[in-house]
Every structure is written in C-alpha cells, then in structure tokens.
Structure 1
Amino acid sequence: MLKELCGIQYLERKPNQITEKPKLMLLIHGYGSNEEDLFSFSEAFPDDFYVVSVRGIHSLAVGMYAWYEINFLDVGKFNNIPQGLESRDKLVRFIDEYTAKENCDKDEVWICGFSQGAILSYSIALNFPDKVRHVAILSGYPEDEFIGSIDSEKDYSKLDFYISHGTVDPVIPIEWARKGKPLLDSLNIKNEYHEYHQGHGLNPQNYTDFMKWVERGN
C-alpha cells in the first residue's frame, strides 16, 4: 500500500527482524518507471532493513514517473536541472523525516538508485555525505550540474559506493558511467566498480554482485 511523507509517495517493507536501530534502504527508480520497479527485489535485502521504494514526483503517464524531465530534442537543455535539484532536496528531507519517524540508524542509511535515480544518488551522497553511508549506483553517472563544486571540507570518509553499468547501454553511454570511479577515487571514497555486457538494466551477475556488496556492508 502506498504511503506518503514529505510529498513523496512510497512503498515500504518493514524489518523482519526487530532491532533497536534498524537500517534504511531507500530505492530510487529511473525515468519513466515507478516505485514498484526496484521494490521487486525488496525481500532479498537483510531482515533488519526498512526497505522503502519512492515514486518520482513528476508524472509522465499512467504508471510512469520521473524525478525531473528530460528534453530528448535539445542536447543543450538535456536535463531539467531545477527539477532535479528540487527532487534531490526533497529526498534528503525524506531521509531525515523517515529515519526520525521509524527510529532508524542515521549512520547506516543506504540508497540505491537506478538510471535517473542513480544520478540523484551521486548528488545526494556528494552534497550531503552526512545523510547516507552506502550508495548503489546502477546504470547512472555523476552529473556535474547536480553535484556542483566539491567541498573539500566535507567528510566523505564513511561513504561506500557500488557502481555498475552495461557496456552496451543505449541510454547512458558507458563512457559517462566511467567518470564515477575516478571522481570517487580523487575524494578517497571507498568504491567498487563493475562493468557487464548488458544494456540499460541489471543482468543476473550484476544483481548477484550487488547483493554480495550489500552483505559485506551489513
């Protein structure tokens, strides 16, 4: 059943194992998808997690949502940057409100974004490194206009990234995704980078490697 917090609708899987400070896994879908997409593997996450899959705040069509609009005809204005920054800031507020509401461990917040959701996950982690710890980037890339200037005074030491991308992705070129690891390395951020012979999605090996990363971080 859909719930709503901070103007964002979401699906939720409560922990199957009761702990004093449960962890939050926030799932952020891509352009044209919805909250049910990544939620499909919610039961695979550890039992002590709240698994929350959020719906994009911009409706494109029935069952299709986005975090910001994309203009496919104008390369110079490809992403609607103001909408993206608004969505990012709403997601940060959502994390604050949700962790407070459910008494989650604020030092163990996980976010997993696919495509557009992955682009925003980079932006959340690099602009608000105190809000998250583990970040999964699935078929995304670091967009300069969402990240802005890197603040060397910020503490990135606790961040841990998993990055994966398809070498034949027709939506986001692999060359864009490859910018992620050097950026994180330059900030001494722990990261694990994988490439797979796949398109814009998650093949079985990618899924397996992602879940192993979750197990190691947990």
Structure 2
Amino acid sequence: MALDVITHEPSAPADAVIIWLHGLGASGNDFVPMTEHLRFERANIRFLFPNAPQLPVTINQGMVMPAWYDITDMSIDRTIDSAQLRQSAAAVHKLIDEQLAAGISSQRIIIAGFSQGGAVGYEAALTYPQPLGGLMAHSTYFATAEDIKPSTANSQLPLLIQHGTQDPVVPELLGQKAAKLLQQRGYPVTYQTYPMPHSLCLEQVEDMKKWLGDRFAD
C-alpha cells in the first residue's frame, strides 16, 4: 500500500524527519501547522504527513472515510482489524525506508501519531528493524500490545505518551495502560497528561518541543 503524503521541507537540506499520522476521519493537513511550532537549531526537519486510505468503518455505520484500520466495537478495549493496522504500519515502514535511501539516519526519524494514527505508530515504530529516534503517541492506545513482535533494534526506543484527562473518545485509562505496559517491557517512557478532551493544547506542544530537542541534541 502506497500512501499519499503531504511533505514539508525545511529551508536547509533535511537531516531529520518526523512522520505524523492523523486520526480517524481526518487528514494529513491536520498537523501541518506543527511545522511552525517545532523548529530546532540542531535539526532541519522534513515533515511527512501521510493521508490514511479510504476504508469503511463499522462503528460509523460502514461509512467510507480516511482510516488506518476498521474499528468494529467501541468498548474500552476496542475491537479492531489488526491486519489492516499492520498493513498501515508496513506502509509507514516504506516511508522510513525511503528516508533512509535519501540519506537520513534512522536515529533521526521520529514517528508521531494521534488517536488511530498513534495505534499505528506503536506498531510501526516498535517493529521497525533499524533503531529510530523516538515515538510520540498522542491521545491513543496500544492496539497490538498482545501480539506485537517488537524489533530488538528498538528495544530502547524513547516514547512520549501524552493524553487528555477529559478525553471522551479514547479514555485516559488507555494511555495509562500503554505507558505501564511499555515501562514493564523496559522502554523509556515519558507520560504526560493535560486537562483537555480529545485534542492537542499549547502546553502539550511545548512539552513535545522539549522532548524532541533532546532527541535532536546530537
């Protein structure tokens, strides 16, 4: 599966990449404004904003919309089409492969994902066969936690998990659950919460910038 991608190039030649995955029913355009907020002296970042394929979504009466995978039940643990999720993660792997071929170091590639995009982000980042720079998971859940086959190359992948305490779509309990499980598995996790619903806030973006600054310090 090839993804349609919105690309934002830095003013100088790129030496780092952030691949940002949007949520259900949204588009890559949702996070393009982040290019103005996330600027660093030690990184010329190429931003990639893929658009999810058009899929029928069971919980939305089978309507076709941008979706990384189908969701068939909205119980707390959710029932999803994990094969579709893994197809989306494989498509993200292809994007990473393309960046490596273009001369970007794997350790200067960050995956970011919001909601459904974050679930794909977990699978894509933790299973990639070369060490990545980090994963940012926003207002999301670890959908493939029970049967993921993680790569040893990313066994110490830095993880930033952020969640709204008033999220009615993806309850914060799911963010806590992911953070706890990943910490138990030995990943370095930073977990942050904000008094907000299923969205982003300015304080959160500032925290992202600090965390990313550490990733791009070298």
What TM-score does the superposition give when structure 2 sets the normalisation length? 0.84
Specify the code of the residue in structure 1 equivalent to 2:140.
Answer: G
Q: CA 1:209–1:76 in 2, change beyond 3 Å: closer, same or farther?
A: closer
Percent sequence identity over aligned pairs:
24
Task: Name the residue aligned to 1:3.
Answer: none
CA drift at 1:137: 0.4
Task: Name the residue aligned to 1:36.
Answer: 29
Structure 2: which 5+ runs fail to align? 58-63
Rounded to whole Å, the distance in 2 between the matches of 1:43 and 1:164 is 20
CA drift at 1:82: 1.7
Task: Name the residue aligned to 2:89.
Answer: 88
Q: Is the 8 A contact 1:109 1:131 kept in 2?
A: no
Q: Quick one: which of 17, 34, 46 aligns to 1:50? A: 46
Q: Is the 8 A contact 1:29 1:115 kept in 2?
A: yes
Indicate whether 1:120 and 2:120 are aligned: yes
Task: Name the residue aligned to 2:188.
Answer: 190
What TM-score does the superposition give when structure 1 sets the normalisation length? 0.84
Q: CA 1:156–1:60 in 2, change beyond 3 Å: closer, same or farther?
A: same
Number of residues of Structure 1 aligned to a counterpart in Structure 2:
208
Indicate whether 1:108 and 2:95 are aligned: no
Q: Is the 8 A contact 1:95 1:131 kept in 2?
A: no
Rounded to whole Å, the distance in 2 between the matches of 1:169 and 1:74 is 15
Indicate whether 1:15 and 2:10 are aligned: yes
CA drift at 1:58: 2.2
Deviation readout 1:90-118 (Å, 9 max, x if unpaired):
11122102331x32122221011000111
Rounded to whole Å, the distance in 2 between the matches of 1:107 and 1:73 is 35
CA drift at 1:128: 2.1
SS in structure 2 at match of 1:179: helix
Q: Is the 8 A contact 2:19 2:112 kept in 1?
A: yes
Q: Is the 8 A contact 1:27 1:39 kept in 2?
A: no
CA drift at 1:190: 1.6
Rounded to whole Å, the distance in 1 between the matches of 2:50 and 2:148 is 27
Specify the code of the residue in structure 1 equivalent to 2:90.
Answer: D
Q: What do you get for the CA RMSD once the two structures are aligned? A: 2.7
